Amino acid sequence: MNQPIGELAPPTRLMLTPGPSSMDPRVYRAMATPLVGHLDPWFRGLMDEVQILLRQVFRTENRITFPISASGSGGIEASVMNPLEEGDQALICVNGMFSDRMAVIAERSPAKVTKIEAPYGKAVDPDDVRRAGKGKKIKIVGLAHGETSSGVIHNLDGFRKVADELGALLVVDAVATLAGVPLNIERQRIDICFSGTQKAISAPPGMSPITVNARVEEVLRTRKTKVQSWYFDLTTAMNYWGKERLYHHTPPISLIYALREAMRIVLEEGLEARWERHRQNQLALIAGIEAMGLELLVKNPADRLPTVTAVMIPGGIEDTKFRNQLLDEFNIEIAGGIGALKGKIWRIGLMGYSSQKPHVLLLLAAAEKVLLEQGYRVPAGAGVAAAIRTYTQAETATAVSR
Ligand SMILES: Cc1ncc(COP(=O)(O)O)c(C=O)c1O
């Protein structure tokens, strides 16, 4: 009962999961700086800086752009609860656990929700959304830009077109994509977009950056009823993040410090360079995985989410035994499947600080050793060699184009 509890000493893991990702040491340092009050004049100035950085990361001028004090699921809740009220209809594209969560949350609003489904591992077809919405008054079309549970990305253009035809707002979950995959709120005309801090931004979990445009502000202004959720009501939260800086709730100050530093790092690298880094590292990882004789869940290369790769677990290999050995022997964490894909796939996240060439090569080498020891025959060194070839080809192509 009175056993002494020692000082905190977490192991140093390489997090190649679909979040949280590993963090740059600069982000840890920012988080360890002194706490100030959330209404302190200095902190108010920092809040402006955070919003300026966030607008650059989202590529938007939207006034309402701030980090919600909640994980990505809070972003989903804010995004659907704010526009929806009695009499509204919502179409939610579901092709995995997280897009399903958007539908599950929307069903708690008074609106009528219709799911437009695609099998896990595939993208939803915008034509299915068009068919489902035809002749109806649709308030929102919602989807996950990147579906982390299956490693699928959606091309947003087709959904924007359909939402325009239906006169609906486009709501996009960019938890797995912001700062890792091309995304431009202004150019792609996304009405509501939210993300999570723990993925390609590589800050700690616990905040959900959100941005909504003027069209949504008008919808909020003309609501007939109050937003069901007090905490996630964007209008009242903006009384704190906006000019007035009125107390709404006490935000996670140290996490905001960390987010600020993580976004500085994102913008120092440059969004285009960062997107390209994520793309290249996934291509090398895929080349390595396929050279080892393993298969991917997502068959169509155009549907593959650059930040999360879903690998089919080969016959004869036990999911948790494999992942436990990777963790115990190499300090590498990858994730298993969730929901319908539990026990069927591994999910490898290459996000933000985790998306690095040495990490890809280490993972492939470690996976080869573990697979061999657990009875799966892998051609010696094939995974690492294929990944290196991919990097070399990319480097040569870059040198030639210069
Ligand atoms: C696409 C997507 N949406 C929403 C979430 C929920 O985020 P959180 O776990 O931070 O609440 C996740 C989490 O992995 C996600 O990947």
**pLDDT reported for residue 368:** 98
Domain 271-401 indexed as CATH 3.90.1150.10: yes
Whole-number pLDDT of residue 353: 98
Determine whether the shortest distance from the Cβ of 100 to ligand 1 is under 6 A: no
% pLDDT > 90, the chain: 97
73 lines ligand 1 (CB under 6 A): yes
**pLDDT tens digits for range 58-114:** 999 999 999 999 999 999 999 999 999 999 999 999 999 999 999 999 999 999 999
User: Are residues 347 and 296 in contact, defined by beta-carbon separation less than 8 angstroms?
Assistant: no
Architecture of domain 25-267: 3-Layer(aba) Sandwich (3.40)
Model confidence pLDDT, tens digit, residues 136-190: 999 999 999 999 999 999 999 999 999 999 999 999 999 999 999 999 999 999 9
Q: Is the CB of 178 under 6 A from ligand 1?
A: no
Report CA(146)–ligand 1 centroid distance (Å).
10
205 lines ligand 1 (CB under 6 A): yes
Ligand 1 centroid to residue 315 C-alpha, Å: 29
Q: Is the CB of 175 under 6 A from ligand 1?
A: yes
State the closest ligand 1 atom to the C-alpha of 208, by its place in the atom list counted from 1: 10
Contact status, residue 200 vs residue 278, Cβ threshold 8 Å: yes
For ligand 1, mutation pick of 175, 178, 195 (most atoms within 8 Å of CB)? 175
Per-domain residue ranges of the chain = 25-267, 271-401
For residue 196, the CA-to-ligand 1 centroid distance in Å is 7
Mutation to probe ligand 1, out of 100, 124, 143, 148 (largest number of atoms < 8 A from CB): 148
Ligand 1 center from residue 147 Cα (angstroms):
9
Distance 377 CA to ligand 1 centre (A): 35
pLDDT digits (tens, 9 = 90+) for 107-125: 999 999 999 999 999 999 9
Cα 100 from Cα 341, distance rounded (Å): 14
CA distance 148 to 195: 12
Q: Which atom of ligand 1 is nearest to the CA of 149?
A: 16
Residue closest to 147 by CA, chosen among 320, 347, 283: 347
The alpha carbon of 5 and the centre of ligand 1 are apart by a number of angstroms equal to 32
Assign 3-class secondary structure to 230-273: CCCCHHHHHHHHCCCCCCCCCCCHHHHHHHHHHHHHHHHHCHHH
Instruction: Find the angle CA(310)-CA(316)-CA(319) to the nearest 5 degrees.
Output: 45
Helix axes 253-269, 41-58, angle to 10 degrees: 40
- Average pLDDT value over all residues in the chain: 97
Q: Whose CA is nearest to atom 13 of ligand 1?
A: 72
What would the pLDDT profile of 163-174 be if each residue is shown by its tens digit? 999 999 999 999
- Is residue 30 predicted with pLDDT exceeding 90? yes
75 in contact with ligand 1, CB cutoff 6 A: no
pLDDT band at 2, cuts 50/70/90? confident
**What's the pTM?**
0.97
Given a contact cutoff of 8 angstroms between Cβ atoms, the answer to whether 198 and 205 are in contact is yes
Tell me how far the alpha carbon of residue 391 lies from the centroid of ligand 1, in angstroms: 30
Q: What is the mean pLDDT of residues 372-378?
A: 96
Query: What span, in angstroms and rounded, lies between the C-alpha atoms of 217 and 219?
Result: 5
pLDDT in tens, 221-241: 999 999 999 999 999 999 999
User: How sure is the predictor about 402, in pLDDT bands with cuts at 50, 70 and 90?
Assistant: confident
**Whether residue 356 has its Cβ less than 6 Å from ligand 1:** no
Instruction: Dig out the tokens for 223 from the structure.
Output: 């609501």
Q: Which of 21, 73, 309 to mutate to test the pocket of ligand 1 (most atoms within 8 A of CB)?
A: 73
Residue 216 has pLDDT above 80, yes or no: yes
The answer to whether the CB of 96 is under 6 A from ligand 1 is no
DSSP letter (8 states) at residue 342 = T
pLDDT for the residue 217: 98
Mean pLDDT for the stretch of residues 315-334: 98
State residue 1's pLDDT score: 67
3-class SS of residue 43:
helix
Q: Say yes or no: CB of residue 104 within 6 Å of ligand 1.
A: no
